[in-house]
A and B are shown apart, each in its own frame.
Chain A
């Protein structure tokens, strides 16, 4: 999510206003701007003044020195809240709007100063948290829950759901568990259903650069043979899947994501083959509203490639056009919908939809 929320705090929207800032703010340094506009509540050290003491409100003030909180969202979200106030991202209205007091350039300078409170560069910046595609694993470690539904649009019927839970730990790491389940049309038996192969994953951001707009991760998954093979929901063997993921910001709001993995079955007697998987995602994010503080849309296209590592194996190509859109004001609940179209006739087109909940930013029903 290139443009998303953060800042568990306080603020309100204003419109149609004339303001005279005067000369005072024109020549101030970033630190002076922060001291003038922010330190009364957020403290000179960024840790936040103690609630209920010198300030008149009791809402907890976020700690800018806490890298877990302060690194994960892009500047654009912070500036949206600083400019238009907390309600622009469904946070508390106690956070005022500073859009009349500070220019966007001044708010950016304040943001640059706030970023210094987390002095640990190991934490990848939120700008590198690129939009999640329907299929491709992204490089950024996340705290998310994603429910994906894949429905066969042609051929034998099937409806497969997958619930993915991802949890960050430390600056660079993430673990995840994915639980698929569904029903499928199985020829003469009609429809049958059950659980699929549950997978456990680990990912680590090996290298990232905010200046270059790049992030590179390595990881691996173990896919357990928990699925019901007769329903087409299991492969009957444990599969190991080491992978690499790369994300690159292009032109500010555009991005490219690359992914490569090898699927290695533990028991090839089941018919499972060692297979290489590659994918690429190209997309562009834009936001509604005069200042870009509104609903966020990200059209993107995935290209998926798979090929078994054996002589004469064919290469399967799929194209997945899709659109991700933020559903709520806080922008931590998103929907993505697309169509996976195989380029050969042996496989069938599927419709894929996910609902993504970035649970670190608030409850599922918060921020609407």
Chain B
């Protein structure tokens, strides 16, 4: 399933983005035709889970990161076990760091203008914090190095511009914006191979990242029917249709196969 989803996602390039937007406009037009302008908005709430016993509470040995090759990182994390946090789930299999977003049914710019409030992508103890970041198009992203060692931030994007910056000093900050919607922008440090993260960029406000308990919430949605997609950096993509009632909340859940 994940493979087919990925193929379909790959077909949506920047040109297809216009089709998505048009579809969104059409959907909104249909939606608005049946509702008054003052119709109250609704919400989507849900939980993302994973099967297969993939948890960070009982990690397999292979999930442990060996930082012994780097003196600073090994000293910074001395006394604790550092785990590969590609898949973060609790004992109940509730999955964190899943980007859940409205893929169809919302026109570009839905939810108002992007916030000028920057979000921070930090590098602390040789890990990205947060590991998965979701922002609006043109919303400032502060990339910070809180470690007293060199990190490079290599951002490999498709719809946006690839960049790679060196941040050699503790406290250094760089500000970036992303000009195009794109899910799954890969962020790595080429010096510390275990450092991986992801950025998702949206041209609307209807997205969320699941928390440590797997929960997410997307609010202030115009009532209507939407295609909701859930993206995980290693477990793939899932989607489902959801109808948001006026003034109400639609409950959904996603379950990924952890293998």
Contacts and interface: CB of A to CB of B under 8 A. Distances in A.
Interface of A: 10-22, 24-25, 36-37, 40-41, 53-57, 85-86, 93-98, 100-102
B190 interface: yes
Contact of B191 (A18, A22, A56, A97): A56
Given A12-B163, A37-B166, A93-B164, A20 B152 contact: no
Nearest to A56: B193
Interface string B210-230: 000000000000000000000
A17 B168 contact: no
9 contacts: A13-B163, A14-B176, A24-B169, A25-B169, A56-B194, A57-B190, A85-B164, A86-B164, A97-B164
Nearest to B193: A56
B171 A97 contact: no
Contacts of A41: 191
Interface in B46-74: 69-70
Contact of B175 (A12, A17, A94): A17
Given A37-B150, A93-B154, A94-B190, A24 B172 contact: yes
Interface in B155-189: 161-177, 188-189
Contacts of A101: 165-169, 172
A54 B126 CA distance: 13
B192 interface: yes
Nearest to B140: A18
Interface residues of B, number: 31
Ranked nearest first, the 4 interchain pairs of A and B with the lowest CB-CB distance are A56-B193, A96-B166, A12-B164, A24-B169
Contact of B170 (A14, A16, A17, A24): A24
A140 to B, nearest CB: 32
Contact of A22 (B165, B171, B192): B171
B149 interface: yes
Given A24-B170, A24-B172, A14 B149 contact: no
B151 to A, nearest CB: 9
B69 A53 contact: yes
A100 B164 CA distance: 11
Contacts of A96: 152-154, 164-166, 190
Given A41-B191, A56-B191, A94-B154, A24 B164 contact: no
Contacts of A102: 168
A40 B191 contact: yes
